[in-house]
Amino acid sequence: MDVFAEIADERRALADQVAPLTPEQRATRSLCAAWSVHDVVAHLVMPLEVSTPRLVLAVLLAGGSFDRANERVTGRLAQRPFAELVDVLRRKADTRFTPPGSGPEAPLVDVLVHGLDIRRPLGLHRDVPAPRLRTALTFLMTSPSGLVPKGALSGLRLEATDVDWAHGRGPAVRGTAEALLLVSTGRTAGLDSLAGDGVPTLRRRVLGAR
């Protein structure tokens, strides 16, 4: 699978889906607590518009904190008109950016999860191809720190109910691949749709990490 081609397709699909949003929908709070739908689109545009040297400088200016740098750069980009951001997301969808030390799986997770951050509160839906979901979930199981709350998935077996994917050993946590993506990245939105003996443990860990 050409992961970069999958990323480009997800970017274009998201751009097409959000382009007609009303001002009220754009201002809707996303699953990222501090960001609106408009802000999340700005964040997805960041690696398409901000070079790695500029991002490194932003991190240095933020005292070495990537999270603070991310918020500041996203905030600046979010001042641009929504239609302009959507155009960049579509026009530069083929950009082959990867974070330092990571492969293309990282930006695939980014666009899939942030796509859910946008779609869930707005009641929008997209049928993501199963190979993309499996690739993203597998990457999260061995991802660098920061993407998955520390210890949240330890001693649990995650099983997707809509694609052929499972990982880990221990009490089971079953749900759709999208729900597993959400809870694996610390979002509570997917918790209520999960089943299995491991759900109470996972719920405590995800809620405790917030």
> What does the pLDDT look like over 51-69, one tens digit per residue?
777 777 877 877 877 777 7
Q: Give the residue carrying structure tokens 């709070």.
A: 29
Measured from the Cβ of residue 176, the count of other Cβ atoms closer than 10 Å reads 16
pLDDT, mean of residues 118-125: 97
Q: Which residue has better confidence, 67 or 20?
A: 20
Tens-place pLDDT, residues 150-173: 888 999 999 999 999 999 999 999
Q: Is 171 exposed, middle or buried (0-12, 13-18, 19+ CB in 10 A)?
A: middle
Helix or strand holding residue 53 (H, E): helix 52-61
Q: In the structure encoding, which two tokens stand for residue 191, read together?
A: 């918790």
Find the mean pLDDT for residues 116-125.
Answer: 97
Alpha-carbon Rg for the chain, nearest whole angstrom, is 17
pLDDT-derived band at 97, boundaries 50, 70, 90: confident
Least confident segment among 14-28, 94-108, 115-129, 159-173: 94-108
pLDDT at residue 144, rounded to an integer: 64
pLDDT at residue 35 tops 70: yes
Average pLDDT over residues 82-94: 97
Q: 159 pairs with which residues across the strands? A: 166, 174
> Residue 50: its pLDDT value, please?
80
pTM for the whole thing?
0.92
In the beta sheet, which residues pair with residue 126? Answer: none
First to last CA, the chain: 34
- Cα 76 to Cα 39: distance, rounded to the nearest angstrom: 10
**166 DSSP β-pair partners:** 159
Q: Enumerate the β-bridge partners of residue 113.
A: none
CA separation for the pair 13, 98 (Å, rounded): 20
Q: Return the closest-CA partner of residue 19 out of 5, 4, 33, 38.
A: 38
Tokens linked to 175: 């749900």
- The half-sphere exposure of 198 on its side-chain side, counting CA atoms within 13 A, is 20
The average pLDDT across 170-191 equals: 95
Residue 94 burial (CB count, 10 A):
13
Exposure on the CB side of residue 158, measured as CA atoms within 13 A: 23
Q: Is the pLDDT of residue 27 over 80?
A: yes
Q: What is the mean pLDDT of residues 83-87?
A: 98
